[in-house]
Amino acid sequence: MIKFFLMVNKQGQTRLSRYYEHMDLRKRTILEAEVIKHCLSRSKEQCSFIEYKDFKLVYRQYAALFIVVGINETENEMAVYELIHNFVEVLDKYFSRVSELDIMFKLDRVHIILDEMVLNGCIVETNKTRILAPLLVLDKMAES
């Protein structure tokens, strides 16, 4: 199961956080700070999986932005690693070359995309067209 999905930049600012198990705000802040510290301290040669407390972190870096996913032992690390990339490609497709600014200013859209892909800690949709379908409906309604 996926426990949480984070986007954090190099300065340690959280840009997106989605928890699939309840965690109170104080713990979240601590966790996010520690997670980014772990990721930043690693070099490119090191592997993308970190054992952290009871779960594993799978992370990828895109420019100054880290995407970190916390999983338990029932997930396949490599599959989650590619899920992150698939998510980024979907963002890229929707925002046409996504940047950190898009994620800040259009946070609701990013949430919609993530919710279409991961629900309740499980991967639910991986097809880009279908992931974006509800958003396109939304944008069409806004234009009309």
Least distance (Å) between residue 100 CB and other proteins: 10
Least distance (Å) between residue 5 CB and other proteins: 12
Among 98, 75, 78, 125, smallest CA distance to 15 is for 98
Least distance (Å) between residue 89 CB and other proteins: 9
Residues that bind other proteins (CB under 8 A): 13-18, 20, 22, 25, 28-30, 33-34, 42-43, 45-51, 53-54, 74, 76-79, 81-83, 85-86, 93-96, 102, 104-109, 111-112, 115, 119-120, 122-130, 133-134, 137-139, 141-143
